[in-house]
Chains A and B, each alone.
Chain A
């Protein structure tokens, strides 16, 4: 995972609450074999509507999603985060998140920041008045800035630390790399190895 400090990008206003993971990515896309290539699957049902906000030219290339309360509830599918990441989102701001979704986000480098209902309204109004306007999200200061307006967001210390350090679960374990190598240096020679392949049974 890359280290996360600040992100500046187009903000997308999603004036809906209770956006569950089935809406973020419908089940039919779960048969795929990749973690990428889900950008077309993001909000697939809603995107059928040409007026859906994601289809508007001004918001192409958006990186910050400003959503209503209870974003990412429902099924635990990690695909929801993969789809958002794949489309290009680095940040979702919402008054409330589904727990599992928030956990999955942290693992995949997606910042899920909690803002107040009032601030969500404020941001929607500002963005819609000037579609394509950029927003700067500062993880160190825990703020979202648009023009002169600075809005605070909440994220737990541990997730913030991991994002700032660019550490996913694997990255965290690899901090113990020295210990893993040390352990490997003591492994007995007779323990099984798959390579080189020995295929002939005696």
Chain B
């Protein structure tokens, strides 16, 4: 490895700027660069062997002050004061508690106000900031890119590597600009943008790339919306997703527990202002999308790229030219028990899940609550509302959102990953169909034999009212709003 040489004045992208700023050593002859990691997020599933590795080698966590842990994947969302029933889940949680104690890592346990999904906790504490490098042993770490951070999901060996060295050997990636022009119509959200992007470029389309989301429709989004989009970059196969920081970012951060304050704030903003991609910088690939024509988007298949506008029908695999994709679509329709040509809006669901690191922030809950207010849950449908963190739950309760959900007939749960992946007791029964605000519709993801349609919080809410996949537009047509 060689020493880092100063970068010239060549125009650079946001991603390149963050990378260059964190170069500890430049790789030679194809060996990776050594990149400094500003923030390491830890949870119970992917950390135990990493801690164990440190213990075996007699190494400490190099920077406990840049590390933070929370419990999310295995935690129950009911009766959180009672011991966790499943022994494997309980062991993982207890192991995390012991490890954090032994290695001096800050941990937010079940019952703590900052406990929750790791990707909700980082931003809410103000730890996720523009221009930093963030890693976590979880693929949806890409969420944090919404702040203009370089946020990467890593494996357990890498978790140990970061714990021991606060660095990672990484090879540079390619960059892709995803420009979303125009403005979203009411009832269309960030979730619909990202589902449309993935349907357009495919689940492998982002492979090897860091995606930068740009354009007026992205600028108009709240931080929550940007997080939803960056969250699902991984579903397009990308290494990471980013949005350049701006006034929206600063307004979200200001005053948060770990955001800079005083002179530090001014210094930080001065630096953050330099991060946006330079005019004249080149991307390795570009995709352009028009927000004006976007409609609420839903998936019909078993990967997040298998989606259509809600007003369309279940596609006919016979119309797909690529043989592999056609076979995949046929398999997906069989698993999903759907017939080509069925209008998406006629698909009846058993369950609605409002939650996950994609859509469980207070803004998501607020948007859904606004739709369902004054309505009641469709017959034969259950709805689970799972706030992303204990703090989100409390904030929502302070606004009375819990009452709205409960009056509607939904279940109001404690924070965690919950039915996003069914590692805890919240699972679909075999054959059950779910409209879910989460990010993965893989076979069995939400429970063995469960069928998942990925949707926005607005579509989730309208679907809960009508019992079939629906958007707020359908409610207006129903004439009841």
Q: In the complex the two chains form, is B66's CB within 8 Å of A190's CB?
A: no
Chain A, residues 29-49, CB within 8 Å of chain B (1/0): the string is: 001011110000000000000
| Measured CA separation A199–B127 after assembly (Å) | 11
Report the bound CA distance from A202 to B271 in whole Å.
24
Residues of chain A within 8 A of B125, CB atoms compared:
198-199
Contact between A34 and B267 (Cβ–Cβ < 8 Å)? no
B161 touching A35 by the CB < 8 A rule? Answer: no
Q: How far is the CB of B268 from chain A (nearest CB, A)?
A: 4
Segment from A63-71, A134-142, A167-175 that makes contact with B: A167-175
**B91 contacts A33, CB within 8 Å?**
yes
With both beta carbons as reference points, the residue of chain A lying nearest to B34 in the complex is identified as A176
For A104, give the chain B residue with the smallest CB separation. B157
Residue from A33, A35, A180 in contact with B165 in the complex, judged by beta carbons closer than 8 Å? A180
Closest to B63 in A: A184
Q: Is the interface of A mostly helix, strand, loop or mixed?
A: loop
CB atoms of A200 and B257 under 8 A apart: yes
A36–B54 Cα distance when bound, in Å, is: 12
Contacts of A184 in B (CB 8 A): 36, 166
**Interface mask (B127-159 → A, CB under 8 Å = 1, otherwise 0):** 111001000000000000000000000000100
Residues of B within 8 A of A195 (CB): 64-65, 106
Report if A174-B38 is in contact (Cβ < 8 Å); known contacts: A35-B52, A201-B256.
no
A192 CB-CB contact with B under 8 Å: yes
Q: A179-B25, A180-B166, A183-B24 are in contact. Are A194 and B57 (CB under 8 A)?
A: no
Type the 1/0 row for B148-179, where 1 means its CB is closer than 8 Å to any CB of A: 00000000010011001111010000000000
A78 beta carbon closer than 8 Å to chain B: yes
Instruction: Return A189 CB to nearest CB of chain B, in Å.
Output: 6
Q: Are A174 and B257 in contact, CB atoms less than 8 angstroms apart?
A: no
Closest to B59 in A: A170
Task: Say yes or no: B65 contacts A36, CB within 8 Å.
Answer: no
B53 is an interface residue with CB less than 8 A from chain A: yes
B210-218, B228-236, B258-266, B403-411 - the one binding chain A: B258-266
A188 touches which of B39, B114, B257, B267 (Cβ 8 Å): B267
- Contact indicator A35/B24 (Cβ below 8 Å): no
Contacts A176-B34, A199-B114 given; indicate if A194 touches B106 (C-beta within 8 A).
yes
Contact for A194 among B48, B52, B161, B258, CB less than 8 A: B258
Known: A176-B1, A180-B24. A192 touches B271 (CB 8 A): no
A107 within 8 A of B: yes
Whether the pair A173, B268 counts as a contact (CB closer than 8 A) is no
User: In the bound complex, do residue A169 and residue B161 qualify as a contact, i.e. CB atoms below 8 Å apart?
Assistant: yes
- Report yes or no: B157 in contact with A169, Cβ–Cβ below 8 A: yes
Q: Does B56 contact A (CB under 8 A)?
A: yes
Residue from A195, A199, A201 having most chain B Cβ neighbours under 10 A? A201
Contact B88 A31 (CB under 8 A): yes
By the criterion CB–CB under 8 Å, are A173 and B52 in contact?
A: no
Interchain CB contact under 8 A, A34 and B59? no
Interface string of A79-92 (1 = CB under 8 A from B): 00000000000000
Is B427 an interface position by the 8 A CB rule? no
Answer yes or no: A7 CB below 8 A from chain B CBs.
no
Which of A143-202 touch B at CB < 8 Å? 168-170, 173-174, 176, 179-180, 183-184, 187-195, 197-202
Tell me, yes or no, whether B205 is within 8 Å of chain A by CB: no
B95 proximity list for chain A (CB < 8 A): 33
Assembled-state Cα–Cα distance A92/B106 (Å): 40
Asked if B67 lies at the interface with its beta carbon under 8 angstroms from chain A, I say yes
Asked whether B255 is an interface residue with its Cβ less than 8 Å from the other chain, the reply is yes
Closest A residue to B52 by CB, please name it. A35
In the bound complex, do residue B52 and residue A36 qualify as a contact, i.e. CB atoms below 8 Å apart? yes
| Cβ–Cβ < 8 Å partners of A173 in chain B | 34, 161, 164-165, 167, 169
By beta carbon, the residue of chain A nearest B131 is A191
Q: Which residues of B contact A31 (CB under 8 A)?
A: 88
> With an 8 A cutoff between CB atoms, is A126 at the interface?
no
Enumerate chain B residues within 8 angstroms of A35, measured Cβ to Cβ: 49, 52-53, 56
Interface residues as binary, B244-263 with A (CB distance below 8 Å gives 1, 0 otherwise): 00000000000111111000
B residues near A33, Cβ cutoff 8 Å: 48-49, 52, 91-92, 95
Q: Report A196 CB to chain B, min CB distance, Å.
A: 8
How far does the alpha carbon of A194 sit from the alpha carbon of B107 in the complex, in Å? Answer: 10
Please indicate the chain B residues that have their CB under 8 angstroms from the CB of A168 in the complex: 57
CA distance A187 to B24 in the complex (A): 12
Chain A residues near B (Cβ < 8 Å): 1, 31, 33-36, 78, 107, 168-170, 173-174, 176, 179-180, 183-184, 187-195, 197-202
A-B contact pairs, 5 of them (CB 8 A): A33-B95, A35-B53, A169-B161, A170-B160, A180-B34
User: 9 tightest A-B contacts by CB?
Assistant: A33-B48, A190-B264, A190-B260, A35-B52, A195-B65, A194-B68, A198-B257, A202-B255, A33-B95
